[in-house]
Amino acid sequence: MKNYLVIQLARFGDLVQTKRLIKTLLARPEATVHLCLDASLAPLARLIYPDAILHPIMAHSAGTYDGNAFLKMLDNNWRAFAELAQLDFAAIYNLNFSGLNFRLAALFEPEKVEGYAWRNGQEVIGHWPAMAMRWSGFRRLGINLVDFWGAYCPDMLPPGQVNPEATPKGGGIGVVLAGRETRRSLPAPLLSRIAATLAGSRKAQRLVLLGGRTEQAAGQAVIKDLPAAVQRNAENMAGRTDWKQLVETVAGLDLLITPDTGTMHLAAHLGTPVAAFFLSSAWCFETGPYGLGHIVYQASTDCLPCLETAPCQENVKCLNGFADPGFQRFLVTGNPGHSPDGILTLRSEFDALGQTYIPMAGHDSDAPRREVLRRFILHHLTGTEPLFDELEQTFAQQLYRDKDWMTADTHYGIQG
């Protein structure tokens, strides 16, 4: 038996997006997969990864800083770490670029740690995540985070085996009120209009508003703006679902209308079709819904994707396309000719690397370069090169560093 440990200390959406990696490890013969995560997400992880052994720790769930949290955290984590230290792991996949992850890696021999390791007091970043950080310079090209984490394994499962193909389940439409970052969510009146349009065009019998406790008021505002016919069938469940109820609710929907959120990834995991609205810092080629059967409405103004933490100097112009009356019409007709400027409508597809998105309306001007980059990454990861393009040299110069070349592991070399 081989034990594998995945350390995923980030939030809801990231936990779900770790699925290609975890499923790949589970598919290995005689494998036992352990998942170390923030304790607050353990109930969700039990539902999503029932075959993994969970190791909940206090990473973010300790709450605000005070003496009590300090002591509780030390005491709890010490015990959790003691359990981890007793296990013999064949490999540890430490996924988050965070001081917490680097420190946790101190429990393990650095040679066994993929991602973010700790060697004699020094933080060490692996070649693959270091390379990925470099393509943050051209985020419009990027690759899906699910594939990025999956690619820690040379034997990663085909993308089609990660999530079920999405199909309507008969439970109406779900509307996610906001993501963690507010600028990349649609404002309540606009969300209300879009929800009403989609509910009307699909003759939805039920509209469910989803979100946390802090979105309850936003849910009321959305409901207030809905036409009476839709309003009658709308229910504000924001703040009223635990993880189990959220999973059950999302699993039964015909469609989930959502910005880039954890709930969106949950829907993709469950095979519930997603209509995702991506704007501001959210870029679907990085964190779009994984699997077949999803639609992404991606704002495509030249300033995107931006940094959520930086103030917007463009008056959030990426919202304009969604607010354009023509967009409502397009949602109903699906006619590309009705699609307003600044919106790119894409359907989810796979290629040899993993998740990608194909335009249904609007022009994806980055597509040719993105395709070359994806081939370049595929070649880097698998040694498979479907078609060479001279442009790859530009990527090579930007993504490979001198030290990668000079200090790379040579176990794939001819000396074998």
Partner 1 sequence: METLRILVILPLYGGSLPIGRYAASALKQEGHLTEVFEAPAFYPAYTALSDLKVTTDRLDYLQNSFLNVVSQSILAKVETFQPDLVLAMAQAPLNQQALKRLRRDGVATAMWFVEDYNLFTYWKAFAPLYDVFAVIQKGAFFEDLAAIGQPNALYLPLAAQPDFHRPMDLSPVERRKFGSEVSFMGAGYPNRRKAFRELVNFNFKIWGTEWEGDHVLEPLVQLKGARVTPEECVKIFNATKINLNLHSSIQADELVTFGDFVNPRTFELAACGAFQLVDKRTLMPEAFAENELATFSSMDELLEKIEYFSSRPEERQAYADRGRARALKDHTYAQRMNSLLQFTAERIPGWPKPRDASPIFGVNYPPELKRNILDLLSRLGLPEDVSFEDLVWAVRQQQGKLNDLDTSILFLDEWRKLYKKKS
- Which residues in this chain contact partner 1 in the complex, by CB under 8 A? 58-59, 62, 64-67, 69-71, 73-75, 77-79, 81-82, 84-85, 98-100, 102-104, 106-110, 118, 120-121
Q: Distance between terminal CA atoms of the chain?
A: 26
Q: Find the shortest distance in angstroms from Cβ 309 to partner 1.
A: 14
CA distances from 214 to 194, 237, 393 (A): 22, 12, 48
Chain centroid to CA 411: how far? 32
Q: Find the shortest distance in angstroms from Cβ 93 to partner 1.
A: 17
Distance CA 121, CA 106 (A): 8
Cβ closest to partner 1, residue 31 vs residue 106: 106
Q: Find the shortest distance in angstroms from Cβ 60 to partner 1.
A: 8
Cβ closest to partner 1, residue 77 vs residue 348: 77
Cβ closest to partner 1, residue 67 vs residue 137: 67
Distance CA 184, CA 318 (A): 9
Q: Find the shortest distance in angstroms from Cβ 38 to partner 1.
A: 11
Cβ closest to partner 1, residue 228 vs residue 406: 406
Q: Find the shortest distance in angstroms from Cβ 104 to partner 1.
A: 6
Helices 392-399 & 367-382, crossing angle to 10 degrees?
60
* Residue spans of beta strands (DSSP E) within 72-172: 89-94, 113-119, 122-125
The edge-to-edge listing of strands for the beta sheet with 122-125 is 53-57, 31-38, 2-8, 89-94, 113-119, 122-125
Cβ closest to partner 1, residue 62 vs residue 318: 62
* Residue spans of beta strands (DSSP E) within 105-222: 113-119, 122-125, 173-176, 207-210
Cβ closest to partner 1, residue 47 vs residue 106: 106
Cβ closest to partner 1, residue 35 vs residue 204: 35
CA angle 299, 197, 203 (to 5 degrees): 135
Q: Find the shortest distance in angstroms from Cβ 182 to partner 1.
A: 17
The 3-state DSSP class for residue 92 equals strand
Distance CA 258, CA 7 (A): 27
Q: Find the shortest distance in angstroms from Cβ 85 to partner 1.
A: 5
